[in-house]
């Protein structure tokens, strides 16, 4: 299938949308039109539902061992095509090629891990109160699922839903990102070539609200997983709740970074610069509110700015580029509005704070200081290349600020004190905390948020649980003696 003509993948076939409707796909580094992606209509969605229902019947009756082999084969295909897919990903989404390579590689690793973990969905035999009674807890796939995934990690956001779903024995419809459909299509090609039966994994694109309004309430669908903004997540969780669907929500964040006086500031500045400006800051766990203890503030700021000065912004396909453009006009306008609001209310621009060039959607890596709580930057998720640096005096003050917002996704800290690390581990209200290194998002570790950042996990064995029902069966041992 030509990359510039991404179709729907329904029931094992690549098809145009009903009436031939399409959506344009744009290169965010140049603004040029790359091609189109099929825009699903109601009939396409009905076909997808029929396919996913049949796919579930086939796949849930396939052994965990066979399922694992097919998923691992898909991972191997991704590895073999890593370079080609990474180029497609960068062209669609903008991130530097090195980051796209990491994303595709991480998808292969995620698939491998879920494939293996799916073979370990043990039930249990529970000791009964009477000797003639047997009690079993059984694990079954929850049923056909639907996953809504965003553009920022166009492939790995899908794999975090599809991987555990397939490993658990569920079939799935993915509503992929219309902004960056090329890499998702490559993932489904790999699954097809790996021998995944028709209907088990389906890929659609369209108008997000039309797709969710049709699929979430549909009686065939038993599980809904969404990654995106808090506002949309609450809407979809409400809809899913009113139809009693199992739900996983991976929503926004506004990650605090607590840097204590005793931190290794060189290491912190280097690691945090790389992490903050990865994918131009369009990462839900991007370090954002830098809270630096008073004595460390000046030296940390100096080191941070020195690291930021080395960032090379440009077209992600070019050698040496370390930060690409934002995804599009809407996101750049949102970032600009957040910076303008902060500056109007007295923030100091330490570096950046402006667009770069007049082609594509580039925005300079930006560091702001002199922040006040009434600024939007400290309250709304910037989802862009903005680091907000504030000063604190004692740990309680830092904790109060870290926990002030309704978000609770990623968080970070740098300290050489075990006592401080212990306090932070217990008191920072977030689904994930990484101390003295950037260590979030591995296949085998839980990935998810608390508070308004959502619920459920998309990494670790917890990710598989999200696609399993636990059923209890008890009988007398006269019936089945063991
Ligand atoms: P947005 O709120 O317009 O859309 C976010 C995502 O939700 C997109 O993928 C979109 O296709 C989808 N969406 C929107 N309305 C929907 C509906 N009714 N039904 C189903 N899906 C729907 O925001 P945006 O400008 O595209 O993205 C920026 C925001 O998204 C950020 O503020 C960030 O919080 C959030 N986001 C979070 C993650 C994450 O990993 N948690 C990833 C990407 C985006």
Give, using CA atoms, the residue closest to atom 5 of ligand 1: 228
Rounded to the nearest angstrom, the distance between the alpha carbon of 300 and the centre of ligand 1 is 33
What percent of the chain has pLDDT above 90? 97
Q: What is the pLDDT of residue 480?
A: 61
Give, using CA atoms, the residue closest to atom 11 of ligand 1: 208
Catalytic positions, please?
A: 250, 284
Rounded to the nearest angstrom, the distance between the alpha carbon of 288 and the centre of ligand 1 is 18
Q: Which residues contact 175 (CB under 8 A, 6 or more apart)?
A: 146, 147, 148, 149, 204, 205, 206, 208, 211, 212, 215
Q: How many CA atoms lie within 13 A of 153 on its CB side?
A: 23
Q: What is the pLDDT of residue 462?
A: 95
Ligand 1: residue of 228, 361, 447 to mutate (most ligand atoms within 8 A of CB) is: 228
Ligand 1 atom, smallest distance to 453 CA = 41
What percent of the chain has pLDDT above 70? 99
DSSP β-ladder status, 8-10 and 13-15: antiparallel
At 478, is the pLDDT very low, low, confident or very high (cuts 50, 70, 90)?
confident
* Model confidence at 3: pLDDT above 90: no
Domain 8-251+450-471: CATH superfamily, name plus number:
Aldehyde Dehydrogenase; Chain A, domain 1 (3.40.605.10)
Which residue, 362, 357, 366, is CA-closest to 325? 362
Say if 8-251+450-471 and 255-435 have the same CATH topology.
Answer: no
408 CB within 6 A, ligand 1: no
Contact 29, 36 (CB under 8 A): no
Give, using CA atoms, the residue closest to atom 31 of ligand 1: 229
Q: How many CA atoms lie within 13 A of 372 on its CB side?
A: 10
Give the Cα separation of 277 and 307 in Å (integer): 11
* Model confidence at 481: pLDDT above 90: no
Using the structure block, give the residue that is written with the tokens 């064995």. Answer: 461
Give the Cα separation of 206 and 14 in Å (integer): 15
Q: How confident is the model over 379-400, as a mean pLDDT?
A: 98
68 CB within 6 A, ligand 1: no
Q: What is the pLDDT of residue 131?
A: 87
Using the structure block, give the residue that is written with the tokens 């396939």. Answer: 62
Q: How confident is the model over 342-368, as a mean pLDDT?
A: 97
Ligand 1: residue of 229, 249, 336 to mutate (most ligand atoms within 8 A of CB) is: 229
* Model confidence at 233: pLDDT above 90: yes
Q: How confident is the model over 349-362, as a mean pLDDT?
A: 97
Q: What is the pLDDT of residue 4?
A: 75
At 2, is the pLDDT very low, low, confident or very high (cuts 50, 70, 90)?
very low
Q: What residues form DSSP beta bridges with 134?
A: 475
When the pLDDT of each residue in the chain is averaged and rounded to a whole number, the result is 97
Q: How confident is the model over 143-147, as a mean pLDDT?
A: 98
Sign of CA dihedral 388, 391, 395, 400: negative
Give, using CA atoms, the residue closest to atom 30 of ligand 1: 229
Give the Cα separation of 3 and 188 in Å (integer): 13
Q: What would the two tokens of residue 261 be?
A: 């006086």
End-to-end CA distance of the chain: 54
Q: What is the pLDDT of residue 1?
A: 43
User: pLDDT tens for residues 251-302?
Assistant: 999 999 999 999 999 999 999 999 999 999 999 999 999 999 999 999 999 9
177 CB within 6 A, ligand 1: yes
Q: What residues form DSSP beta bridges with 135?
A: 474
250 CB within 6 A, ligand 1: yes
Domain regions of the chain by residue span: 8-251+450-471, 255-435
* Model confidence at 239: pLDDT above 90: yes
* Model confidence at 482: pLDDT above 80: no
3-state secondary structure of 449: coil
Q: What is the pLDDT of residue 55?
A: 98
* Model confidence at 204: pLDDT above 80: yes
Q: What would the two tokens of residue 348 be?
A: 């100091």
329 CB within 6 A, ligand 1: no
Q: What would the two tokens of residue 54 be?
A: 């049949």
Residue 34: φ, ψ to 5°: -85, -30
Query: What is the DSSP track for 218-250?
Result: -TT--EEEEES-HHHHHHHHHHHHHTT-EEEEE
Q: Which residues contact 337 (CB under 8 A, 6 or more apart)?
A: 376
Ligand 1 atom, smallest distance to 331 CA = 25
Q: Which CATH class is domain 255-435?
A: alpha beta
* Model confidence at 381: pLDDT above 60: yes
Q: How confident is the model over 110-126, as a mean pLDDT?
A: 97
DSSP β-ladder status, 468-476 and 410-414: unpaired
208 CB within 6 A, ligand 1: yes
User: pLDDT tens for residues 89-103?
Assistant: 999 999 999 999 999
Query: What is the DSSP track for 285-334?
Result: T-EEEEEEEHHHHHHHHHHHHHHHTT--BS-TTSTT--B---S-HHHHHH
* Model confidence at 446: pLDDT above 90: yes
Give the Cα separation of 390 and 375 in Å (integer): 13
């Amino acid at each position: 299938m030509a990359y510039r003509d991404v179709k729907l993948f329904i029931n094992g076939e690549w098809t145009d949308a009903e009436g031939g409707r399409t959506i344009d796909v744009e290169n965010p580094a140049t603004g040029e039109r790359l091609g189109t992606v099929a825009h699903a209509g109601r009939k396409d969605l009905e076909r997808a539902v029929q396919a996913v229902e049949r796919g579930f019947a086939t796949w849930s009756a396939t052994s965990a061992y066979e399922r694992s082999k097919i998923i691992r084969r898909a991972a191997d295909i991704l590895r073999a095509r890593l370079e080609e897919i990474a180029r497609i990903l960068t062209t669609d989404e903008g991130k530097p090629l090195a980051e796209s390579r990491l994303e595709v590689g991480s998808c292969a690793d995620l698939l491998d891990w879920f494939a293996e973990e799916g073979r370990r969905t043990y039930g249990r035999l529970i000791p009964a109160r009477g000797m003639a009674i047997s009690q079993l807890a059984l694990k079954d796939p929850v049923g056909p699922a639907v996953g809504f995934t965003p553009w920022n990690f166009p492939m790995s956001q899908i794999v975090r839903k599809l991987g555990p779903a397939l490993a658990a024995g569920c079939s799935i419809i993915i509503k992929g990102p219309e902004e960056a459909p090329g890499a998702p299509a490559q993932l489904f090609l790999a699954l097809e070539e790996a021998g995944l039966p028709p209907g088990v994994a389906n890929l659609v694109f369209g108008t997000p609200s039309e797709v969710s309004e049709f699929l979430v309430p549909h009686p065939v669908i038993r599980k809904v997983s969404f990654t995106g903004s808090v506002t949309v997540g609450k809407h979809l969780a409400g809809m899913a709740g009113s139809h009693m669907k199992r739900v996983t929500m991976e929503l926004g964040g506004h990650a605090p970074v607590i840097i204590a006086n005793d931190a290794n500031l060189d290491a912190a500045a280097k690691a945090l610069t790389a992490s903050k400006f990865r994918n131009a800051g369009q990462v839900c766990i991007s370090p954002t509110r830098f809270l630096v203890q008073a004595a460390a503030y000046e030296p940390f700021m100096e080191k941070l700015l020195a690291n930021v000065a080395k960032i090379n912004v440009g077209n992600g396909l070019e050698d040496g580029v370390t930060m690409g453009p934002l995804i599009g006009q809407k996101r750049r306008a949102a970032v600009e509005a957040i910076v303008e609001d902060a500056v109007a209310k007295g923030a100091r621009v330490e570096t950046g704070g402006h667009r770069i060039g007049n082609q594509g959607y580039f925005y300079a890596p930006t560091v702001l200081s002199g922040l006040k709580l009434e600024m939007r930057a400290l309250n709304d998720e910037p989802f862009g290349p903005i680091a907000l640096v504030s000063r604190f005096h004692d740990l309680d003050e830092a904790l109060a600020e870290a926990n002030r917002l309704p978000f609770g996704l990623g968080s970070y800290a740098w300290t050489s004190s075990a006592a401080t690390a212990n306090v932070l581990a217990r008191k920072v209200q977030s689904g994930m905390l990484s101390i003295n290194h950037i260590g979030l998002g591995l296949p085998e570790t839980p990935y998810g948020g608390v508070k308004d950042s959502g619920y459920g996990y998309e990494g670790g064995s917890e990710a598989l649980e999200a696609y399993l029902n636990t059923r209890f069966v008890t009988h007398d041992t006269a019936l089945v003696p063991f």
